Structure 1
Amino acid sequence: MASVFKRGVKATHAPRGENASDAGERRREQRDVRLDAALRAWTTRRGSHESNVSVAIWRRERSMAEVIRSRGRQLQRVGTARGNATWLFAEECAFLCETERLALFFDEREEECASVRAVYALMARTGVGWEEYLAYAHLRRLGYGCRRFGSAWTVDARSSDDWAKETGGIGRWGDGENGDGVKTGEVEVEPIAEPPVKRRRVEETRKKQRDLPSRRWWLAAGDDAHDWIGPEIDAAARARTESHALEYDESPVEARLTFQVYQPNRHFSKKSPDPVSFYVYVCSDRPPTGREARALLDQAQGKPVRVVSCRQSTVMMFTIAGG
């Protein structure tokens, strides 16, 4: 035990055979080495090496990016495989560019790839909201596989030219419009007027109510009846209840799922994907109503649904379940 508590040579003391000036010079040399290492680390170019970055070109006619050079396993759980090519959605391009795993070009003749800010602008023009991207990027950083609701992982190479529309997703992505009434894609159109809401209204039935004079409300001793009790009062109360209009909203519910999420898996395969773990509904302005929650659960077909709300780049999720 004595060797455990044995005191060594203090740092302020020079080793045996070395004077104080030599010890100070040695400490200065060690300090300079550490400073040089810190400066080299600070000035070193950050980011992935060019040889480890995948390259894609944005195809405007399909509102997707075609990967022309793939590196590593970065695209294992993103994109749609069509033959030997991989096609990426706008939110997938933004996340890969943000994490320095993809160089996106808007045209084949360009010499410099698009900046992250330019990719964000492209994502907004194609109808992907900022809250939707925050939810997507948050799930991807947690290790989940995230995909547009109903979008296909693989497409037959012999499919028609409209395969991008047919496999781009359903629900929120299948209608081809974002929340502002602008078509998804890069061509803006005038917002389409919403159809009038169909409502079935029960006609108000007004019945004449007998004017009851103001009388005492207590029951006097010996009285066997009271003006506030009896068939006449019941009829007046029933008429007052029936006079209120009852509304039954038969308008279609517009709440649609946003993403389908898969558990982390290093051996994920697009040809035989894992079962969906849960679904995500992005709704930042307000929580879903009861009818909307029921519609979301029906779309999920028994799977959990997590409602995502984004505030100031903070992503909050809560789960809804059917009773």
Structure 2
Amino acid sequence: MARSGDRGAKEGEEEEEHHRNPFLSNSINKPWTSKTQFRSEVSKACWDEEMGMGEIIEKKGSMWATTGVIRNGKLYCHIEEILFLAERGALILTSPDGKTINVGDIYKMILGSKFGCSWESFEAYRHLKSLGYIVQRYGIPWTLKNDIICCSSNSPSENNTRCFEISNLLQDMQISELKPTFKVYLPNSKFRKSSPGDPSFLLCLLSGNPPSRSEVENLEKKCDGLPLKFCYVDHGRVSFFSFDKERLPTLP
């Protein structure tokens, strides 16, 4: 039988976790479910098909300090961020003509893996965010002051389209290469997108067999010594693991 002091300490820890992570269930006695939740503070975003992201047009709540990327003073969300917030009732996504895109349609956008995020990547993202971690796509800066022009066209719309097509092509070419998927930071109330610092670790998503020793060592060299963790998603179960070097003693 648990003592009252132990029970009080446990409840205090759970309350602290909920204070630190606003996306956990409001009830500490009930596990989180995937059903859409309803919140008093709801932000709005408009989907930009050419960019493959949603532009935040109405920002509410404190989660934006660690969610979304800033481009020329505007805030945008990747598809995994949009779905995570939409599931919790914290974000409404609309099409350019003002029609609401429901959660079911956002699921279909993820399942198509068209916008740089597979369903397995989303499940890893959702798991980490639900634990309070700060998660961002690897190789994507939090802020950019100037647009990157991919071609010499005079049409901004055409530039965006070609940038997106080139990005998708490069992703397809590297699909079999072991590479980080997310940068993961520890929960931090003082986190700033303008100076995020080094992530706590880089997360690599695995889709098949475990990586070979040479693959891990090559990846470690490319990641400048940042800690690596690997993730495998199987029928909704998200597993994390890492590799350490051990020197076995010489047997007599």
Cα distance in 1 between the residues matched to 2:137 and 2:131: 17
Q: Would the aligned equivalents of 2:37 and 2:87 in 1 still touch at CA under 8 Å?
A: no
Q: Is it true that 1:154 corresponds to 2:143 in the alignment?
A: yes
Matches within 5 A, 1:120-199: 120-123=107-110, 124=112, 125-156=114-145, 158-160=146-148, 175-177=170-172
Cα distance in 2 between the residues matched to 1:173 and 1:81: 21
Q: 3-state DSSP class of the match of 1:71?
A: coil
Other-structure match for 2:43: 54
Q: 3-state DSSP class of the match of 1:175?
A: helix
User: Quick one: structure 1 residues 270 and 254, their matched pair in 2 at CA, closer, same or farther if it must change by over 3 Å?
Assistant: same
Other-structure match for 1:245: none
Give the superposition deviation at 1:291.
2.1
Q: Which has the higher helix share?
A: 2
Cα distance in 1 between the residues matched to 2:49 and 2:168: 17
Matches within 5 A, 1:201-280: 254-280=177-203
Give the superposition deviation at 1:321.
3.8
Q: Is it true that 1:114 corresponds to 2:104 in the alignment?
A: no
Q: Percent identity?
A: 28
Q: Would the aligned equivalents of 1:254 and 1:292 in 2 still touch at CA under 8 Å?
A: no
Give the superposition deviation at 1:58.
0.7
- Structure with the greater relative contact order (CA < 8 A, sep ≥ 6): 1 or 2? 2
Give CA-to-partner distance per residue, 1:211-233, whole Å, 9 cap, x none: xxxxxxxxxxxxxxxxxxxxxxx
Cα distance in 1 between the residues matched to 2:37 and 2:181: 34
Q: 3-state DSSP class of the match of 1:78?
A: coil
Residue type of the alignment partner of 2:92: A
Other-structure match for 1:297: 220
Q: Would the aligned equivalents of 1:304 and 1:320 in 2 still touch at CA under 8 Å?
A: no
User: Quick one: structure 1 residues 272 and 297, their matched pair in 2 at CA, closer, same or farther if it must change by over 3 Å?
Assistant: same
Other-structure match for 2:242: 319
Give CA-to-partner distance per residue, 1:147-170, whole Å, 9 cap, x none: 1111100010x43455979x99xx
Q: Would the aligned equivalents of 1:149 and 1:173 in 2 still touch at CA under 8 Å?
A: no
TM-score normalised by the chain length of structure 2: 0.70
Q: Would the aligned equivalents of 2:39 and 2:88 in 1 still touch at CA under 8 Å?
A: no
Residue type of the alignment partner of 2:212: T
Q: Which residue, 230, 236, 248 being the options, matches 1:307?
A: 230
Q: 3-state DSSP class of the match of 2:170?
A: coil
Q: Would the aligned equivalents of 1:74 and 1:101 in 2 still touch at CA under 8 Å?
A: no
Cα distance in 1 between the residues matched to 2:168 and 2:134: 18
User: Quick one: structure 1 residues 175 and 254, their matched pair in 2 at CA, closer, same or farther if it must change by over 3 Å?
Assistant: same
Q: 3-state DSSP class of the match of 2:171?
A: coil
User: Quick one: structure 1 residues 77 and 135, their matched pair in 2 at CA, closer, same or farther if it must change by over 3 Å?
Assistant: same
Other-structure match for 1:17: none
Cα distance in 2 between the residues matched to 1:274 and 1:132: 23
Cα distance in 1 between the residues matched to 2:218 and 2:140: 19
Q: Is it true that 1:102 corresponds to 2:91 in the alignment?
A: yes
Give CA-to-partner distance per residue, 1:28-74, whole Å, 9 cap, x none: xxxxxxxxxxxxxxxxx96113xx11100110111111000100212
Cα distance in 2 between the residues matched to 1:109 and 1:47: 21
Other-structure match for 2:71: 82
Gaps of at least 5 residues in structure 1 are 1-44, 182-252
Cα distance in 2 between the residues matched to 1:160 and 1:275: 24
TM-score normalised by the chain length of structure 1: 0.56
Gaps of at least 5 residues in structure 2 are 1-35, 151-158, 247-252
Cα distance in 1 between the residues matched to 2:224 and 2:201: 10
Q: 3-state DSSP class of the match of 2:183?
A: strand
User: Quick one: structure 1 residues 161 and 106, their matched pair in 2 at CA, closer, same or farther if it must change by over 3 Å?
Assistant: farther
Q: Would the aligned equivalents of 2:51 and 2:160 in 1 still touch at CA under 8 Å?
A: yes
